[in-house]
Amino acid sequence: MPDPAVRRFEGNPILTAGDVPYKATLVFNAGVTKYQGRYVMVFRNDYGTWGDPCLEGTNLGLAFSEDGLRWRVEAKPCFELKGPNITRAYDPRLTVLDGRVCMCFAVDTPHGLRGGIAVTDDFERFEVLCLSVPDNRNMVLFPEKIGGKYVRLERPFPVYSRGGGELFDIWLSDSPDLRYWGNSDVVLTTRDVPFCNAKIGPAAPPIKTAKGWLTTFHAVDIDPSRGKNGWEAAWKKRYTAGVMLLDLDEPRRVVGLCRRPLLAPEAPYETAGGFRNHVIFPCGTVLEQDGEVKIYYGAADTVICLATAHVDDLVRLCLEG
């Protein structure tokens, strides 16, 4: 059972395709942060025909909010990566670093999936700093340097070495300049997470607490008996959200892990009527001054939702195990 310390916002979903003033069909997986006094969200927009699993394209939309609850979407998308070797960019995560906003994103290419980082200070011009080799995605940046280095979590796809299937773990790398990444180590493996039988991946950028870096992740379980569960002929996966605590000085070290899902699909907007039902995919969190953590997540790959919890409760869950 997910933990009662986490509450869904009664106004969910907080953003849908109907709120977007340009072509939009599935509005989900959103990076959120506070920047220059307001909340900012960059969200994934897959556009095409409602109900048709072959969508036309993907861009990233931009929205602002004064309270983190009610959002105003800008007139046009803010980011679309196109090129001979790039199909699309998606699943943004935002981290304020050195006074600018860094955006991690996934990239589909004819040669595999890549993880990228871009930097902006106005959400109009983005400078792409790096794109990983395939296959990698779900990158998130820590909000400050640790031991003099920038640090990111990421999720490579080791298809030969893990005995088949989708047993993909969370890794960490560091960098002197946000462009060149190395010193990679595995941080959390699928074996460590009792509520998954397939891949895991970083969710939102870690939050600094006195007890460690509070770090959300997604976890996937596959049930071959699942059948039609959305727009596709079959969708056999379920995505839940988990939480762990990483050591403040050595974030490669897990110092706490909640052994139950933080959020599992149960609300109607998570379990029915979506493109892929039973998907909870957080990409953004905001820690408020009173200790409330706002957790923004894509639901059913179709809409954007919000859940809240007190930071102390989340830390306690990790330390209780």
Task: Indicate the residue among 40 and 220 with the shorter CB distance to ligand BMA.
Answer: 220
Q: How far is the CB of 166 from ligand BMA (least distance, A)?
A: 9
Task: Indicate the residue among 213 and 281 with the shorter CB distance to ligand BMA.
Answer: 281
Q: How far is the CB of 23 from ligand BMA (least distance, A)?
A: 19
β-bridge partners, 299: 280, 303
Please say whether the beta carbons of 297 and 240 come within 8 A: no
Q: How far is the CB of 43 from ligand BMA (least distance, A)?
A: 12
β-bridge partners, 115: 106
Cβ-closest position to ligand BMA: 281
Q: How far is the CB of 237 from ligand BMA (least distance, A)?
A: 7
Task: Indicate the residue among 236 and 310 with the shorter CB distance to ligand BMA.
Answer: 236
Q: Would you tell me which residues interact with ligand BMA (CB under 6 A)?
A: 29, 91, 239, 276, 279, 281, 298, 301
Q: How far is the CB of 276 from ligand BMA (least distance, A)?
A: 5
Q: Which residues contact 217 (CB under 8 A, 6 or more apart)?
A: 170, 188, 200, 201, 202, 203, 241, 242, 243, 244
Token pair 């493109």 is at which residue?
275
Q: How far is the CB of 44 from ligand BMA (least distance, A)?
A: 7
Task: Indicate the residue among 71 and 239 with the shorter CB distance to ligand BMA.
Answer: 239
Task: Indicate the residue among 29 and 215 with the shorter CB distance to ligand BMA.
Answer: 29
What is the rounded CA–CA span in Å between residue 149 and residue 249?
11
What is the rounded CA–CA span in Å between residue 76 and residue 1?
40
Task: Indicate the residue among 181 and 239 with the shorter CB distance to ligand BMA.
Answer: 239
Q: Which residues contact 191 (CB under 8 A, 6 or more apart)?
A: none
Token pair 């897990």 is at which residue?
254
Distance between start and end Cα atoms, the chain: 14
